Amino acid sequence: MSSTPPRLPKAPLLDRISGPEDFRDFTVEELIRLTEEVRQTMIHSVSYTGGHLAAGLGVAELTVALHYVFDTPNDKLIWDVGHQAYPHKIVTGRRDKMLGLRHGGGLSGFTRRAESEYDPFGAGHSSTSISAALGMAVGRDLQGTQKNIIAVIGDGAMSAGQAYEAMNNAGAQGSRLVVVLNDNDMSIAHPVGAMSAYLSRLMSSPKYHSIRHLAKDLVQLLPPPLERAAKRAEEYARGMVTGGGTLFEELGFFYIGPVDGHNFEHLLPVLKNVRDSDSNTPVLLHVVTKKGKGYAPAEAAADKYHGVGRFDVVTGQFEKPVANAPSYTSVFAKALLAEAEADDRVVAITAAMPGGTGLDRFSSRFPGRCFDVGIAEQHAVTFAAGLACEGLKPFCAIYSTFLQRAYDQLQHDVVLQKLPVRFAIDRAGLVGADGATHAGAYDLALLGCQPDIVIMCPSDEAELMHAVATAASIDDRPSAFRYPRGEGMGIELPDRGSVLPIGKGRILREGNRVAILTLGTRLVEVLKAADELTALGLSPTVADARFMKPLDEDLVLRLAREHEVLITIEEGSIGGFGSHVLQLLASQGALDRGLKIRPMILPDIFIEHDTQWEQYEKVGLNASGIVKTALSALGDPKLSA
């Protein structure tokens, strides 16, 4: 497949618009054609850039309908997660930038406040939209302004507790708010038809609201037991007729649906009724869509086309990059399977990411020992703690960026109780095209301040296998090991990892003057830098810390004692490994004799999306950056300007 950007298909209607205001006078037939142009633009763009495809294809009509009916950007439209938001970007003035999606300097793969006035809230993590929308609705009410606030949330995101916390609060608050539930997996309702559409139009109409309010006023005149019974009868009747609204009614929402999300004649009247209602009751509009709609390969395999790399539009075939080594994720899967084969107490937990974390392989081999708890990281961690209480060996596999969401549970439910939960932290460090929302920059700082936890950072894929084996052997406290997105170094792998001595690093090269103490997979760049320094007449010592906690104090103090310069390397933010090394050196007086120490970390900024290689190049965590740091610390004249 060519690396040349494709020519986007002809789009005569899209050519006429620069924003939603330009298609609000379109006929339904024109809206249908516009939606098809949006779909084709999205398919061709993502075929080149990669990104999220199936969910966005499913909400093309819904996107056009929402912008057609509501007065965006004055009315606030909030997309949960951002996976669904590519059509939204196309119709809000960003169509010409879609071929730069997720590329350096280009559009973000998620909604982003700094990118457009049509993005009122940034979203990379799931299930935040209703909370944000309620905050905006209350802010609007306090300031006495007039605008609609609409949150679009996928039903997958409804597995997270925050969504229900927000709905519970919204139901009690009584602020005007619209939540659109995009049900794209048929997990809540079966296909909908004309009768359902009629009922949805009826229930969203002002006449129905007036009758219902009158009925409620009359019911309040009844004795309390009869009043409660009458309210329940009405709500449960509506729930039975319309296909599942009772739960949302109990949370204080007025439920409408389900509505066919691909039929403008069903969508537009309901959205207009919701827009024009003067009720302060929050509304939940249940819309059924099909992931991958309009692109046959994605319709046939929506999960496969959820997040994609480059692909051929005609055939749907994915571009397969030549892998020089297995991915770290696949190595973790191999290592965990080896431990599970040897010990039937090994179990695995994921928060809706079985494929992303490699646990799909574990689930296939041990279906009764693998648990996908949905988008519920907090629950995943405490659930793992409960498993540990019963003598099992839980491995909780979560991306670094998502583990942040369960920090309280990690500290309070696991570490405080010294429960041997093992955290497999995938996507540690920089993650490329997913950018700042998904970067694994903070886990070392967050975990490092927790007492009595073992933290391992493998430097290559063989070391990752040893880390998994070591974690499996630790039964008296929690442990964690982190590893990056992408391929390993091509190291030969054992059939099963070996248990490492806890808290002990290793010397890889003996040298003088400069010591480089690395933690994690920057080791390959450290070794390149060591070769360059050797060519310049310097012969650095290279050490692999292996563990952040417990820190190999003897190794650190020896390096400080025997060298002029000590450089620490890590793929994490300030407050991590380098901070712990500095704390040790300061407390032991090792800085009193003039040691020059240079911690190399991720800078104190959010790092924009780009390739991983470019990201590390920009922040200096590569061979040339390490060489420059060493020469600068020595005051060497070979340092280039």
- Return the active site residues: 291, 377, 405
Entry field: residues in the chain: 641
* Dihedral sign of CA atoms 570, 576, 577, 582 in order: positive
Q: Is 213 part of any known ligand binding site?
A: no
- The DSSP 8-state label assigned to residue 368 in this structure reads G
Neighbours of 164 (CB within 10 A): 15
Q: Got the DSSP string for 153-222?
A: EEGGGGGSHHHHHHHHHHHHHT---EEEEEE-SSSS-----HHHHHHHHHHHSHHHHHHHHHHHHHHTTS
422-426, strands of its sheet edge to edge: 370-372, 346-350, 393-399, 422-426, 479-482, 454-456, 547-549
Q: Residue 258, preceding bond cis, omega within 30 degrees?
A: yes
626: exposed, middle or buried (Cβ count in 10 Å: 0-12, 13-18, 19+): buried
What are the structure tokens assigned to 240, written together? 């039975």
Residues 6+ apart with CB under 8 A from 535: none
Separation of first and last alpha carbons in the chain: 40
161: exposed, middle or buried (Cβ count in 10 Å: 0-12, 13-18, 19+): middle
Residues 6+ apart with CB under 8 A from 367: none
Neighbours of 478 (CB within 10 A): 27
Which helix (H) or strand (E) is 273 found in, with range? helix 264-276
Q: Is 305 part of any known ligand binding site?
A: no
Nearest to 400 by CA among 462, 351, 466, 360: 351
Q: Is 184 part of any known ligand binding site?
A: yes
Q: Is 563 part of any known ligand binding site?
A: no
Which helix (H) or strand (E) is 399 found in, with range? strand 393-399
Q: Is 155 part of any known ligand binding site?
A: yes
Pairing mode of beta strands 307-308, 346-350: unpaired
Nearest to 133 by CA among 90, 173, 93: 173
Separation between Cα atoms, residue 630 and residue 122, nearest integer Å? 39
Helix (H, G, I), strand (E, B) or coil at 227: helix
Neighbours of 126 (CB within 10 A): 27
* Dihedral sign of CA atoms 84, 90, 92, 98 in order: positive
Q: Is 198 part of any known ligand binding site?
A: no
Alpha-carbon torsion, ordered 79, 82, 85, 90, to 10 deg: 120
Pairing mode of beta strands 149-154, 307-308: unpaired
Q: What is the amino acid identity at position 3? A: S
Q: Is 295 part of any known ligand binding site?
A: yes
Helix (H, G, I), strand (E, B) or coil at 480: strand
What are the structure tokens assigned to 84, written together? 């669904």
Which helix (H) or strand (E) is 578 found in, with range? helix 577-587
Could you tell me if 571 and 430 are in contact, meaning their C-beta atoms sit under 8 angstroms apart?
yes
Q: Which residue has the tokens 């763009």?
A: 45
310: exposed, middle or buried (Cβ count in 10 Å: 0-12, 13-18, 19+): middle
Separation between Cα atoms, residue 559 and residue 563, nearest integer Å? 6
Query: Residues within the annotated binding site?
Result: 83, 124-126, 155-157, 184, 295, 377
